[in-house]
Amino acid sequence: MSIKRFVSALLTGALCLGVLTACGSAQKPASWGVSADAQRYSTIFYDAFDTVTQVIAYCDSEEEFSRQMDALHADLLEYHRLYDIYNDYDGVVNVKTINDNAGVAPVQVDDKILGMLELARQMYDTTNGKLNIAMGSVLRIWHDYREAAEANTNEADNKLPEQEALDAAARHCDISNLVIDENAKTVYLSDPDMSLDVGSVGKGYAVEMAAQAAETRGLKSALISVGGNLRAIGTKPDGSQWSGGVENPWNASDVYTASSSYVSGVNMSDMALVTSGNYQRYYVVDGVRYHHLIDPDTLWPARYFDSVSVLSPDSGAADCLTTGLFCMSLEDGQKLIESLDGVEALWCTPDGEVIQSSGWAGHEKK
């Protein structure tokens, strides 16, 4: 599938001035892996994971850049279809297929689903259950109320779920009922009323796998942003690192632009930067914002933070951790991050405080 590209001065300016700060010298020693003649290219597309994907890369030719982006785009679309919980696709067995067969029969799935589910199960243990992809029954209720609110022309008509309904749904969120047979490559939900929601891991895992595949195909210098989920490959041609920004949650916009404000900028090389925030998907009832990050303990939107960002060598793990950290206290989150090698975090609290893990400053732009 060809990519609908917008390689323009406007996009280049926005990316350079905004979160994807990547303008620099086009000269690079041969030892860096990209020829001295490598040029900077950029692209954007809109059809993967219901968000905007932006990529900056240095390649030896426009043809090479186009080849790399066609492959990257195809990879992201494949993951999008595999991890979809709402739609069916001809010839595709996806997470919706697993949910549709809950309590009925095991479903044989692609390795790309198995790998993602295994990571999610590991991160359930790492976050002490705060990251739980088995919460589909609860998250579906919140999703439906949010969708109804978006359809309302009058905010006064917006409603909240009944606690009784949330409690009933929560009885079907036991991750031990997710049965994975690695040898048979099957997934089975033994509780017929259980469903998976992989929104907290799917995009991050897909970005990581797509970036690794691009590197295998020879892409050596790039910055990928899928809905603000950043993954850097290598360095810029002059040997300097790529730059990423943590958006100000108290002055957030729907798209990253030159006028977006940031609470921290970081240097990135072969790293991922992922943020979860209460400003991304929400609706308002009686003046109160109800966002999509649901605390498994309360079954209501977590109130500890306005945003949490994670810097990690792995985009999938970072995606999981931002959700888990968002739903736990600062003290518990700090203990968790300090126990993980090569992982840093930044918390933005409701009272306007910005708190960094011990090693965040080592990555921060001066």
What is the pLDDT averaged over residues 308-337? 98
pLDDT value at residue 1: 37
Is 127 annotated as contributing to ligand binding? no
> In which residue are the tokens 């998907």 written?
281
Quick: pLDDT tens for 123-132. 999 999 999 9
- CATH 3.10.520.10 maps onto the chain at 39-84+200-362
pLDDT band, very low/low/confident/very high, at 10 (cuts 50, 70, 90): very low
CATH hierarchy code of domain 39-84+200-362: 3.10.520.10
What is the pLDDT averaged over residues 204-218? 98
- CATH 1.10.3980.10 maps onto the chain at 95-189
Category of 33 on φ-ψ map: left (φ > 0), alpha (ψ -120 to 50) or beta: left
247, 256 in Cβ contact below 8 A?
yes
pLDDT value at residue 251: 82
pTM over 0.85: yes
Is 70 annotated as contributing to ligand binding? no
User: How many residues can be counted in the chain?
Assistant: 366
Element (H, E) at 336: helix 330-338
pLDDT band, very low/low/confident/very high, at 280 (cuts 50, 70, 90): confident
Q: Which tokens belong to 225?
A: 């942003």
CATH hierarchy code of domain 95-189: 1.10.3980.10
Nearest CA to 41 out of 13, 25, 62, 71 is that of 62
Q: Which tokens belong to 232?
A: 């850097």
Mean of per-residue pLDDT scores for the chain: 90
Kindly tell me the number of DSSP H helices and DSSP E strands found in the chain.
9, 15
Cα-only R_g, the chain: 21
Ranges 132-141, 203-212, 243-252: which has the least confidence: 243-252
pLDDT band, very low/low/confident/very high, at 12 (cuts 50, 70, 90): very low
185, 106 in Cβ contact below 8 A?
no
Is 176 annotated as contributing to ligand binding? no
Q: Could you give the CA distance from residue 143 to residue 344 in angstroms, rounded to a whole number? A: 30
State what percent of residues in the chain have pLDDT above 90.
83
Quick: pLDDT tens for 26-41. 333 433 566 767 999 9
Q: What are the Cα distances from residue 181, in Å, to 111, 121, 184, 192?
A: 12, 13, 5, 18
